[in-house]
Amino acid sequence: MSVSGLPSGNHPKWRSWLLTDTPTSRHHARIASLYQGWLSFRSNPMAMFGLVILLMMGLIAVFAPLLAPHDPFVQDLSNRLAPLGADDHLLGTDSLGRDILSRLIYGARITLYIVILVALIAPVAGLFVGTVAGYAGGWIDTILMRITDIFLAFPRLVLALAFVAALGAGIENAVIAISLTAWPPYARIARAETLTIRKSDYISAVKLQGAGPFRIITRHIWPLCISSLIVRVTLDMAGIILAAAGLGFLGLGAQPPSPEWGAMISEGRKFILDHWWVATVPGLAIFLVSLAFNLLGDGLRDVLDPKDSGS
Amino acid sequence: MSGIVIKNLNVWFDGAEERVNAVKNTNLKIVQGESFGLVGESGSGKSTILRALTGLIPTWSGEMNVTGERLGRHRTRQFYKKVQMVFQDPYAALHPRHSVDQLLSETLRLHGFSNVDRRIEKLLDNVGLGPTFRFRYPHQLSGGQRQRVAIARALAPEPEILLLDEPTSALDVSVQAEILNLLDDLRRAHKLTYLMVSHDLAVVGHMCKRIAVMQMGEIVEIMTIEQMRDLNPQHPYSRHLLESSLGYKRQKEQVPQKP
């Protein structure tokens, strides 16, 4: 870690309190280890870049009504397909004369909503299935992993399409469909990690204290799986955004007039040769956010990977 | 009163093709308060006996009694309050993401102790670690300090019997002595019964009153430590083991003369 490279001596008091090797309470120990993790994360400029973009996107989504220059739903057919930099419409207008910038800003809400929901559902489901399968072994493992294999065998978007078609179009169903297709890789990772952990002495040691399987899985195996899962989730975020955009693009995700980015690209496709910005601008937004998540994932891997910590 | 009585113990591992018999027809009796050593080369089944006792290996037959109670398939929490184990490798025996405090407080809570904070301080003190070690993570500790933490964890439920699975073999020599002295002191202070596994006869000689020599899953001889010191074992394998532990004996070399 780069902590040792910091100038020492003239730290303010809170700083040395955070960097101490000898914490004085449980609380202190936790805060200090968080701070030291943050320091090593901060030393990675690309990861910080990703984090800043995502924080800005979060702020934009929260303050969308204040930031958006126009109502994203108001149509102005006399001013349709205005080019970039047109009066009063910085990023132009779409085929119905709606302000693209405002739609992008409001669309950030939908994108974040989808991403956060999927990121809450899929890894948790995968973690649960994978650790239970890996720890229990035997027929439980066989059944759970064959189910996982079945889900993995389908192309992701095709399976999501089938789910949305069965459940009906809409953002919530798109979230469920994407989550259903996203969990198997997490289950695989969690199971692989569990298999290496479950025979280790520290698991035997806690068994010798009379701990049951539930406690061992949640308290002792999960903490070791979570770091690799978090990294994997952030790397998958781009894919999740693109899957949501893909469903939107196919008309199975967010429904018009909702300003979901994929749906915006889908609408702009009709004019892509003459009015390229209508589809390109939301495409760039998706690209930027996906890139930010990837960079963040890279940085988090450096901080969280237990195999690296301790050196 | 008897601490551990083992009769006709067989332990096996089911392999893909055939069953591996790790321990065969073993009989053992360890008196309460005694310090008993199990020696033998690697793979002779020493650790397997400990693991079968603690319930970590379910495939065994025969009879095992601990403080007069016969053991069944499953170990109760009551059993783990009486019998604890210290593992061989202190680098593998501590959860890498749990601090010393988390480790000990979880152990104490599992055994239903209250006033956890005071007990943690006392346990750390017992194993010769100051309160500054309380919030450290395993990677911030040396091998010897880790083994002390592992011993503190084993002592937390206030057991009567401690199973020691080569507790010093992963440590360097100077630290070995520290840990052995600590274990000796703890045994006296807490009136513990030790069943210690080692391949190092010097370690066992330091700690134990009686030893059993194992070979290929069978106990070939049980002798007192005096017999061992007098280099007077009965069984040829014990003699061989003892001789090899004395180190390389320079034999009178007969240099073949060139004609």
> Which domain range does residue A29 map to?
1-43
For residue B231, the model assigns a pLDDT of 75
Tell me whether residue A26 is in a domain.
yes
| Strand B35-40, strand B210-215: pairing | parallel
What does the pLDDT average to over A217-231? 88
Q: Are residues A25 and A126 in the same domain?
A: no
Q: Are residues A120 and A37 in the same domain?
A: no
Q: What is the pLDDT of residues B143-176, one digit of tens each?
A: 889 999 999 999 998 899 999 998 888 888 888 8
What does the pLDDT average to over A1-27? 65
In chain A, the residue whose alpha carbon lies closest to the alpha carbon of B53 is A208
pLDDT exceeds cutoff 70 at A5? no
pLDDT exceeds cutoff 90 at A311? no
Contact state of A202 with B111 under an 8 Å Cβ cutoff: no
Tell me whether residue A155 is in a domain.
yes
Tell me whether residue A129 is in a domain.
yes
For residue A310, which residues of chain B lie inside 8 Å, CB to CB?
96, 137-140
Tell me whether residue A311 is in a domain.
no
> Measuring CA to CA, how many Å separate A10 from each of A2, A13, A14, A33, A35?
18, 9, 11, 21, 18
Interface predicted TM-score (ipTM) of this complex, two decimals: 0.83
Q: Are residues A153 and A194 in the same domain?
A: yes
Is the pTM higher than 0.95? Answer: no
What does the pLDDT average to over A72-88? 78
Is there a contact between B85 and B61 (Cβ–Cβ < 8 Å)?
no
Q: What is the pLDDT of residues A180-210, one digit of tens each?
A: 888 999 999 999 999 999 888 899 999 888 8
Q: Are residues A125 and A29 in the same domain?
A: no
Q: Which of A126-135, A243-252, B58-67 has the highest mean pLDDT?
A: A126-135
Tell me whether residue A213 is in a domain.
yes
| Strand B19-31, strand B2-14: pairing | antiparallel
What does the pLDDT average to over B95-123? 89
Neighbours of A150 (CB within 10 A): 10
Q: Are residues A34 and A101 in the same domain?
A: no
Name the domain count of chain A: 2
Q: What is the pLDDT of residues A39-70, one digit of tens each?
A: 888 888 888 999 999 999 999 999 988 888 88
For residue B171, what is the DSSP state? S
What span, in angstroms and rounded, lies between the C-alpha atoms of B204 and B219? 16
Contact state of B111 with A210 under an 8 Å Cβ cutoff: yes
CATH topology of domain B2-245: Rossmann fold (3.40.50)
Contact state of A310 with B135 under an 8 Å Cβ cutoff: no
Tell me whether residue A80 is in a domain.
yes
Nearest CB to A208; choose among B54, B106, B137: B54
Is there a contact between B49 and B37 (Cβ–Cβ < 8 Å)?
no
Q: What is the pLDDT of residues A82-98, one digit of tens each?
A: 777 777 777 878 878 88
What span, in angstroms and rounded, lies between the C-alpha atoms of B90 and A255? 58
Tell me whether residue A194 is in a domain.
yes
Contact state of B92 with A202 under an 8 Å Cβ cutoff: yes
Question: How near does any CA of chain A get to the CA of B55, in Å?
Answer: 8
pLDDT exceeds cutoff 60 at A270? yes
Domain ranges of chain B: 2-245
Tell me whether residue A261 is in a domain.
yes
Please give the mean pLDDT across all residues of chain A.
Answer: 83
Size of interface A-B (CB pairs under 8 A): 75
What span, in angstroms and rounded, lies between the C-alpha atoms of B232 and B230? 5
**A interface toward B at CB cutoff 8 Å?**
21-26, 28-29, 33, 200-202, 204-211, 219-220, 223-224, 306, 309-310
Q: Are residues A252 and A171 in the same domain?
A: yes
What does the pLDDT average to over B248-256? 56
Q: Are residues A103 and A238 in the same domain?
A: yes
Q: Are residues A111 and A17 in the same domain?
A: no
Q: Are residues A2 and A82 in the same domain?
A: no
